[in-house]
Amino acid sequence: MTAIILRRASLALWLWAGPLAALDLPLPEAARETLAQDRPGARLVLPTGPWRASEGLPAEPVEGRLVARAFELPDSRATPTQLLAPLRAALDAAGYEILLDCADRRCGGFDFRFNIAVLPAPAMYVDLANYRFLSARGPDGDGVTLLTSRTQSAGYIQIMQIIASEAAAPGTGAAIAAETPLSQTRPSRAVTVPGAGRDAIATLEAQGALILSGVDFASGAASLGDGPFPMLDALVDYLAENPDRRLLLVGHTDATGSLAGNRALSQRRAGIVAAYLRAAGADPDRITAEGAGFLAPIASNLTEAGRRANRRVEAVLLPRD
Confidence category of residue 6, pLDDT binned at 50, 70, 90: low
Q: Which residue has the higher pLDDT, 175 or 29?
A: 29
Residue 94's pLDDT is 93
| pLDDT of residue 235 exceeding 80 | yes
Average pLDDT over residues 121-129: 81
Rounded Cα gap, residues 201 and 204, in angstroms: 5
What's the whole-number average pLDDT of the chain? 80
Confidence category of residue 162, pLDDT binned at 50, 70, 90: very high
Residues 6+ apart with CB under 8 A from 223: 109, 110, 217, 272
Residue 17's pLDDT is 31
Residue 247's pLDDT is 94
pTM of the model: 0.55
* Cβ neighbour number for residue 119 with a 10 Å cutoff: 23
Residue 40, preceding bond cis, omega within 30 degrees? no
> Nearest-CA neighbor of 127 among 260, 232, 226, 259?
226
Confidence category of residue 188, pLDDT binned at 50, 70, 90: very low
| pLDDT of residue 158 exceeding 90 | yes
Beta pairing, strands 245-252 & 287-291: parallel
Residue 182's pLDDT is 43
Residue 122, preceding bond cis, omega within 30 degrees? yes
Positive or negative: CA dihedral 146, 147, 150, 151: negative
Q: What is the CATH number of domain 194-319?
A: 3.30.1330.60
Average pLDDT over residues 172-187: 40
Q: Which fold has domain 6-175?
A: Protein Transport Mog1p; Chain A (3.40.1000)
Least confident of 118-127, 149-158, 210-219, 239-248: 210-219
**Residue 151 pairs with which residues in a beta bridge?**
none
Residue 239's pLDDT is 93
Q: Collapsing DSSP states into helix, strand and coil, what is residue 117?
A: coil
Confidence category of residue 174, pLDDT binned at 50, 70, 90: very low
241: part of which helix (H) or strand (E)?
Answer: helix 230-241
248-262 in b/e burial notation, b at 16+ Cβ within 10 A? bbbbbbbbeeeeeeb
Residue 308's pLDDT is 87
Q: Which residue has the higher pLDDT, 41 or 143?
A: 143
Domain boundaries, given as residue ranges, for the chain: 6-175, 194-319
**18 Rama class: left (phi>0) / alpha (psi -120 to 50) / beta:** left
Query: pLDDT digit string (tens) for 7-33?
Result: 544 443 333 333 334 577 889 888 999
| pLDDT of residue 237 exceeding 80 | yes
| pLDDT of residue 178 exceeding 90 | no
Average pLDDT over residues 198-219: 79
Confidence category of residue 190, pLDDT binned at 50, 70, 90: very low
**91 Rama class: left (phi>0) / alpha (psi -120 to 50) / beta:** alpha
Average pLDDT over residues 54-79: 90
One-letter amino acid at 116 equals: I
| pLDDT of residue 170 exceeding 60 | no
Query: pLDDT digit string (tens) for 242-287?
Result: 999 999 999 999 999 888 888 988 998 899 899 889 888 889 899 9
Residue 203's pLDDT is 82
DSSP 41-101: EEEEEEE-S--BTTTB--EEEEEEEEEEEEEEEET----HHHHHHHHHHHHHHTTPEEEEE
